[in-house]
Amino acid sequence: MSPDTQAPAEPRVGAVLAVDVGGSHVKVLLNGEPERRRFVSGPELTPEQTVEGVRELTEDWTYDTVSVGVPTIVRADEVVSEPVNLGVGWLGFDFGAAFGKPTRVVNDAAMQAIGSYAGGKMLFLGLGTGLGSTMVVDGTVLPMELGHLPFRKATFEDYGGERGRQHHGAKRWRKAVLETIELLTAALEPEYVILGGGNADRLDELPENVRLGDNEDAFLGGFRLWLEPGQLGAANTV
């Protein structure tokens, strides 16, 4: 998104710093600030390096709470599985202690899904380095790891992630992604599907009830993590 485009904000919460950890960059935004900032990540990135990089980028920002989206399984604000596309040391890492602020940690696809949510029953698929997935049902967030389910000769992620696009080519990648959407929609019966991630806009045509999200929704999702219980379902209606 262009730097001139208005940054997302959530007026119902205070000074929340949203940190979106991806396979290529770590991106940050403070609720109410217009400027997004980022630094390069990669397959060797550790959580200590992430916190250090975020601190350096945000020295002139004042914030009360932090939200962190990480591309792996997260339960109760704790990473329970090492990310496939990053370095090691994420398992059990205490982000709250590292930042010295109240901190909430979620799966990165879940964070973008929360920011994309417009009510009802939504399936979010993140087409990036891997294949992230989350459902939100009447305001309740249900992080998933659908990308690791078997598909064809491998998994959904092997075909729909960036490695699949590089290996199989753009045309076969698009076909696999559309088949993935069809199968998961039939199984989970969402009212609508949101596609996020850096590769989402590589799809030429979208099926009915499927629309592109915005990668900046991850920031909004990070802010929304600090809403009071019940407020997310009232955030928007389809």
CA separation for the pair 59, 168 (Å, rounded): 43
CA separation for the pair 187, 122 (Å, rounded): 13
Residue-level pLDDT, tens digit, the chain, 238 residues: 445 578 999 999 999 999 999 888 999 999 999 999 999 999 999 999 999 999 999 999 999 999 999 999 899 999 999 998 899 999 999 999 999 999 999 999 899 999 999 999 999 999 988 898 999 999 999 989 899 999 999 999 999 999 999 999 999 999 999 999 999 999 999 999 999 988 999 998 899 999 999 889 999 999 999 999 888 876 543 3
pTM value?
0.86
Q: Which of 133, 81, 90, 84 has the alpha carbon at shortest distance from 108?
A: 133
CA separation for the pair 6, 3 (Å, rounded): 8
| AA letter at 153 | K
Residues 6 or more apart whose CB falls under 8 angstroms from that of 103 comprise: 65, 66, 67, 68, 77, 95, 96
Walk me through the domains of the chain, giving residue ranges and CATH numbers: 16-108+218-224 (3.30.420.40), 112-212 (3.30.420.40)
Query: What does the pLDDT read at residue 180?
Result: 97
Q: Which two tokens stand for residue 4?
A: 């001139």
Asked whether the CA dihedral 158, 159, 160, 162 is positive or negative, the reply is positive
Instruction: Classify residue 171 as exposed, middle or buried by CB count within 10 Å of its CB (0-12, 13-18, 19+).
Output: exposed
**Residues paired with residue 234 on neighbouring β-strands, in sequence order:** none
Q: Which of 165, 227, 216 has the alpha carbon at shortest distance from 37?
A: 216
- Could you tell me if 93 and 77 are in contact, meaning their C-beta atoms sit under 8 angstroms apart? no
Segment 49-67, tens digit of pLDDT:
999 999 999 999 999 999 9
